[in-house]
Amino acid sequence: MAATLAMGTTTDWTDLDCLKLVREGDPRGAEALFDRFSGPLVRFTDRMLGSRADAEEVTQEVFLKMIDRVEQYDGRASVGSWLFAIAANASRDRLRRSRRGSVVPIDVLAEVPEPGESAHDRLHAKEQRTAVRKALSKLSEEQREALILARYHGLPYADIARTLSISEGAVKTRIFRAMETLKALFSEGEPRWNAVRS
């Protein structure tokens, strides 16, 4: 396996190839998976935790846990779903610990402006992101997890069900209730938004 992979580039390797390298103790596997999944995982954990710094820490924890628990991967879910499941559990743990001491902050991500975007457009987009973060923070953890995985990361319900260890019906229910809560919040004076684009 390692000899075969040495000839190709990391972009040619499947997620399972990378995981096999992790099992063999080859750091290239973990590096390739980090390159593929760290961005989506940071975005997911940031939306769960409301803090970019916490999200980056949790994402690092996810990859350390992946290396530590690589033998626990059983192949029933995709490698990406498995990593999101680790991230969801780590986010829940972080939220439980933070509740004991303080309220979860709602920071706004520093985002690079689009070329040609006016200051007015940037301000409007920032206000919209702040409103969405505020609304997401009012959802239950379970609803927020399911909604973020579906709307922001495009995971199918079956993958979300495996990631969160629940049924597809429970995923649908959580997302439906989350959307109803968000609709109610935004109909009470919050600006309109689109969960997919914000």
In degrees to the nearest 10, what's the CA dihedral of 74, 159, 195, 46? -10
Which range scores top for mean pLDDT: 59-63, 99-103, 122-126?
59-63
Spatial CA neighbour of 50 closest among 113, 9, 14, 102: 102
Ranges 58-62, 134-138, 174-178: which has the least confidence: 134-138
pLDDT interval class at 106 (50, 70, 90): very low
Q: What is the mean pLDDT of the chain?
A: 81
* Residue 169 token pair: 């019906």
* Residue 195 token pair: 């969960």
DSSP type of residue 1? -
Is residue 115 over pLDDT 90? no
Spatial CA neighbour of 141 closest among 185, 94, 105: 94
Q: What is the pLDDT of residue 70?
A: 94
Q: What is the DSSP string of 130-196?
A: HHHHHHHHTS-HHHHHHHIIIIIT---HHHHHHHHTS-HHHHHHHHHHHHHHHHHHHHTTPPP--TT
On whether the CB atoms of residues 55 and 95 are closer than 8 A, the answer is no
CATH of domain 10-107: 1.10.1740.10
Count CA atoms within 13 Å of residue 75 on its CB side.
3
Spatial CA neighbour of 150 closest among 168, 130, 125, 138: 168
Q: What is the pLDDT of residue 114?
A: 56
Name residue 114's amino acid. Answer: E
